[in-house]
Structures are given as structure tokens and as C-alpha cells.
Structure 1
Amino acid sequence: MKTTDHEGREDHAADSPRALLGPEGEAEFADLTAEEIQWRVRLAYMQHSLRDRMQQYVGLPVDRLLFQRWLEQRAGSRYIEAQGLPRRSLEAALGDEALTLHVDPRKLIRIAVRISADGEKRPSSMFFIWDGNWDQRREDLRVGTRYRLISDLDENRHDLTRTERYQELLSALESGRPWCSHQEGILLDTPEKILRYLEVYVGFLDSMATEGYRPERARDEIGVAISRQGRILKINRGLHRLAMAQRVGLPSIPVRVRCVHREWWNKVVDGAWGETALARVRAALKDCVPEERPGPLDLDAAPLLPDDFWPPARGVATQP
């Protein structure tokens, strides 16, 4: 059986004097590990391993069974579609090429806010088709925490102690509660570690500026959703990478469609089932573009930003 990345790390731990990185840790943070949190890190590995095995031996087989019933229009297929269709099986059927879209990161500025409101059920990542008004509630990523962080680090790269994030982490340290992440295996319990942590992010930013976006280096894809209007909205993972691509002005990055709104699905498939429906979805995904407008149910007023908000593109973004 193929060894997962985090299983390989655990096997290697006995031969290495360095504390173990967490299951979601980046290799560049290896010198920020600490023995003090190793029990929590190992617990995180156990949780990831249990989750992976549950998916492999329970979740995926059930998903495939349900998806096959829908594909063949067997008894219960309408109920299976009404539930949202099992995401992992549908992703496998649609294929990587259809689900991978290439967008201008500076146009991907709206993130869907998946909060429960007015008794509305929060969409589940287990399903590919989402109901509800999640696509009508949006936040502007240009004023979000990730882009502010990356911009602050970039502007103060020669003295990172001036950044807001450094001051936050230093304050936590001085109050006796140093920032740590057992998922990443990091403990920032000295000012030097805080600086090193921030320097790694500057290194990531500079690497993207000189080499462009390298999907093979990422642990997962930048996830997006398709709204009822067929527009691309940001969701979940990859927010730091997106912010870096926006900061350096890359012309295009790959994003991965994780879910679609039911209204869009219904309009696209137009009553079709099985392979015919899948073919229509593949074709329609090619026409999806980022949503740049505020949503009708936004919780905050749209910020007023200058026309020259983005800094000049640099590095590979300036090459023909």
C-alpha cells in the first residue's frame, strides 16, 4: 500500500534528532519544531491517519456505490442527486482537466461565506452540489487577513519586527502563550523563531515571483466554488498562495472546482442524467469566470478601494 506523506514522516522521525513536523507542516518550517508539543503533533497524525482510513475503507466505497446508482439511473438516483451527489466520486468522473480552471488571481477577489443564517443548513464538503445562499454572502479578499499579511510582510521585508503579525506573535509570547500549531508542528517560543517563521513566508513570496505558481509544490489545490450565476468564488484552502499570486501579479493560476450551486447545476444539465449530465457540466465549466461583484447578502459594506490598489507586477509576471 502506498505510504502517505505524514506516515512517511512518522517512520523517519525515529532516525532524526529534530522534532517532527505536523501533518500539514511545510519542510521550510522544519527548524521551528519543538519537543514541547510533540505529543499533540503525534495526536494530529493519529487523527489524520484515522480519517484517511475511514475514507479509504468506508467513505469512498459508499461514495462509489451511490454514484454508480445515480450514473445508471437506478432506484434512489433522484434522492442521491437531491442530497448533492458524492463529491469525490463525481470529481473522479469529471476529471482533473475539467475541474481545473485557470484564472487571473487579481480577479478572484470574492470568497463565499458559508455561515448558517436564518436556519439555513451549512453546505457539506462531502457533496458536490450545494444548496442555499452561501454564494450570495461574500467577502472581499483584497481587505482580508491573508492579503493584508502578505502585503505587510512584503512592504517590511527588511525589518519584519515592524509587521502587525510579528507584534501579534510577540505579544502572545510575552503573555506566556506562544503561538503554536500541532497540525504544522510549529512552536514560536522565541523572537528569533517568530522572525524565522515570517521570513519563510517572504521566501515563498519571492519564489513565486521568480518561478511562478508551482502546483506540484502545494499540498493541495486552490479550492473554488461555482455560484448560481456560473461565477467562480473562493472557498477554503489556498488563501495564502492566492494572496501571494495577487501580490506579485501573476497573470494566471490554476484553481480546482470543489462544488457548484444547485441552480447552476440544474440549468446546465437541463434534466439530463449520467454521462450526458457530466458532459454538459464539463463543457459549462470552461465558461466560468471569477465573480468580482459584492453579494446581495454581504454582511459588510463593500470597501472603497483605489483604482491602483494592486502594486506593479514583478518577476515572471512581467515577462512576455
Structure 2
Amino acid sequence: MIPSSPPRSGKDGRQTTGSVLSPSVASAPSTRHLRPGLVAQALEHLFLPSIAAWFAFPQRFDRAVAQLAQDGGRAVSPRQAAAYFGGSLFLEIDPRNLTHRLDEKYVDDDGWHWIGESFLDAGDWQDRLPLLQRSPAHREIVEICRTRENFRDGGRYRTYLRQIGDGKPPRRNGQTIDTVDKLDAYFRYYADLIDNIERTGILPRNRFQRATNTGRQPRRARSFWQDFVERDIGVAIDKDGRLVRHTSGKHRLAAAIGLGLDKVPVEIRMVHLGWLQAEMQKRRLPASKALAAALAERGAG
């Protein structure tokens, strides 16, 4: 199997996704350290996936798919998959077609799990695909699309301001917003970002990082490392072949929808085993070749 951080194991020792329970089962602070640190992400972002993808990737990918079909669970590093499948994982789509999201963390009988380090997943997503509109981040960005520099008039701003006054400051982008100055910086950053997206559209990430006019980007709203490891809007392919938002890009996607854009670049970050198995059967190809063919067909469409 392709090296990746090991998924949690069930009580019988097998990899499992388990049944979905209410997030209240586990305390919220336990979710903060599920994601790899920003330095670890940066190192892998630079070179590790390309090195790993040199060594018999298709054979290891096919074996991983066979094992998942038998045991369930998750497998394959997304960055190794990106290094091997390359540009075929990048698409341009109508953002309005993304109506649901697959969260990168979920809770079951064994506690909280982070799935952002896996490219293949054999779990049951039925109860793990909430509407984008239920996301606080999505709602606040769509609101800023309407209010812009008058963001203080928006309901989300007033809610956060009240939370600060009550001594229960919100956490956004991994930082505690406990002063009015920080709150203003946070909303002003996204008002600038929205203005920029309205002028230029959403650029593929390698171009966006070099763009000279991406707003003021106050460091109180977002750290350097967050900008460095940021990627294109992430999507996953569910068992029925539908694209759903997954991992990074939630603010940019919300801005695109709020602005009414008809095209955004996205990166396929995860595929469901059920969809891949259907492609294998339809095309009579092993997993790696079936996926490559299906991705090429999507890109051409």
C-alpha cells in the first residue's frame, strides 16, 4: 500500500470509518490537532510526494484498491496521487454545481478522525455530506459579497462582535478573534479577497500565489504558512460520481458562488472506492488505468 499516515482502527483492529455520531460525543478541542502541522504540510508540498510517486505507483495503487475492497478504510496520499496523475486531477467547473461538502474530519465510536491525508475512501458518506449553506464560513463569505466595505452591517459580523463582548470570542483560520481590531482585519481581508476575485476570477493556485494584487492580506487574519500550503479548491468524487467540496478553498468557493462566477479551478483530492470500482468494471481496466481514463474523460467534458 502507498505510504500515508495510518487511519484509525476499529475495535477489531481493521481500518474503519464507523457510524457517524453527533460531534458532541467528543469535545471540540480534540479536533484541533488532527490536521498535520503547517511545517509538515509544507515539507510534503515541496518534494516528498514526487519522490514516493516514482516507485511503482500504479502497482501499489492497484493493491491499495484491492485491499480497501476487502477491508474498507482509506489509503493513498493525495499528494502522491497528484504527483502521479498530474494535471488530470485539475478541472474547471461551474461552482454552483457544488452544493454539498465532505468534511475532512468526522467522529465515530473510536473518536475523531482526519481524512484529509487519504486519496481513496471506502466509507459510508451518506451522513457526512452536509449542504454548503450550513457552513458558517460559507455563509459569512456570501454575506461579505453583499456588504463589502460595509461588513460591519452584516449579521455575521454583529454575531462575532457580540461573542467578543460576552467573553466567548470566535476562532477563525485557527486564530482566536478576541478584539474588534482583529475582527475588522478578518472581515477586511475577505472583503479585499472578494474584490480581487471579482476583478480577476479565481486563478489556479500556482498563479494566484504570484499575483501582485490579492488584497491587503493582514497577517492578523491569516498566517504566512497558511498562504504557503494553500491549494486549489478541493473536491471529492462521491460513490455516484458527483463532485463535492473537500478540504481547502471553502472561502474562495463561497466567494465564487456569492459573486455568481460560472467557472473556477478545482483539484480532485479524494475519490470514493464505489465510484472507482464502477469505472473499473465499465472500462475493464485495473484501478490506476481506470481512474486515469475516467479523469481524462471528465477533463475533456
Please give the TM-score of this superposition, normalised by the length of structure 1: 0.60
2:193 aligned partner = 204
Picking from 258, 261, 264, the partner of 2:269 is 258
Question: In the aligned structure 1, how far is the partner of 2:162 from the partner of 2:153?
Answer: 13
Deviation (angstroms), 1:242 = 0.6
Picking from 107, 112, 116, the partner of 2:102 is 112
Question: In the aligned structure 2, how far is the partner of 1:125 from the partner of 1:159?
Answer: 35
Give 1:222-237 correspondences, 5 Å limit. 222-237=233-248
Larger mean CA deviation between 231-240 and 116-125 belongs to 116-125
CA-atom RMSD in angstroms: 3.9
Give 1:265-304 correspondences, 5 Å limit. 265-270=276-281, 272-273=285-286, 276-286=289-299
Kept after mapping to 2: 8 A contact 1:120/1:132: no
2:5 aligned partner = none
Aligned partner of 2:269: which letter? R
Kept after mapping to 1: 8 A contact 2:138/2:251: yes
1:168 aligned partner = 159
TM-aligned CA distance change 1:124 to 1:284, over 3 Å: farther
Unaligned runs of 5+ in 1: 1-45, 289-320
TM-aligned CA distance change 1:241 to 1:84, over 3 Å: same
Q: In structure 2, the residue corresponding to 1:171 is in which secondary structure?
A: helix
Question: In the aligned structure 2, how far is the partner of 1:119 from the partner of 1:268?
Answer: 32
Deviation (angstroms), 1:280 = 2.3
Please list the CA deviations of residues 224-245 of structure 1 after superposition, one character each: whole Å capped at 9, or x if unmatched.
Answer: 0011111111112211111110
Picking from 131, 141, 147, the partner of 2:122 is 131
Task: Report whether the alignment pairs 1:88 with 2:99.
Answer: no
Kept after mapping to 2: 8 A contact 1:67/1:86: no
Task: Report whether the alignment pairs 1:239 with 2:250.
Answer: yes
Question: In the aligned structure 1, how far is the partner of 2:149 from the partner of 2:60?
Answer: 57
Question: In the aligned structure 2, how far is the partner of 1:158 from the partner of 1:89?
Answer: 41
Aligned partner of 1:282: which letter? L
Larger mean CA deviation between 227-236 and 142-151 belongs to 142-151
Please list the CA deviations of residues 49-78 of structure 1 after superposition, one character each: whole Å capped at 9, or x if unmatched.
Answer: 35555888988766765736426x7x9894
Please list the CA deviations of residues 104-140 of structure 1 after superposition, one character each: whole Å capped at 9, or x if unmatched.
Answer: 1112111135634588996733332211221564222
Question: In the aligned structure 1, how far is the partner of 2:64 from the partner of 2:190?
Answer: 49
Please list the CA deviations of residues 231-281 of structure 1 after superposition, one character each: whole Å capped at 9, or x if unmatched.
Answer: 111112211111110011111101110111111111212353376335323
Q: In structure 1, the residue corresponding to 2:183 is in which secondary structure?
A: helix
Unaligned runs of 5+ in 2: 1-35, 210-229
Aligned partner of 1:103: which letter? I
TM-aligned CA distance change 1:122 to 1:173, over 3 Å: closer
Q: In structure 1, the residue corresponding to 2:267 is in which secondary structure?
A: strand
Give 1:25-64 correspondences, 5 Å limit. 47-50=37-40, 52-53=42-43
Aligned-residue identity in percent? 24
Larger mean CA deviation between 114-123 and 274-283 belongs to 114-123
Q: In structure 1, the residue corresponding to 2:162 is in which secondary structure?
A: helix
Picking from 64, 78, 103, the partner of 2:93 is 103
Please list the CA deviations of residues 193-248 of structure 1 after superposition, one character each: whole Å capped at 9, or x if unmatched.
Answer: 42232122112112211221122326311000011111111112211111110011
Please give the TM-score of this superposition, normalised by the length of structure 2: 0.63
Q: In structure 2, the residue corresponding to 1:70 is in which secondary structure?
A: helix
Kept after mapping to 2: 8 A contact 1:223/1:234: yes
Question: In the aligned structure 1, how far is the partner of 2:234 from the partner of 2:139?
Answer: 20
Kept after mapping to 2: 8 A contact 1:130/1:259: yes
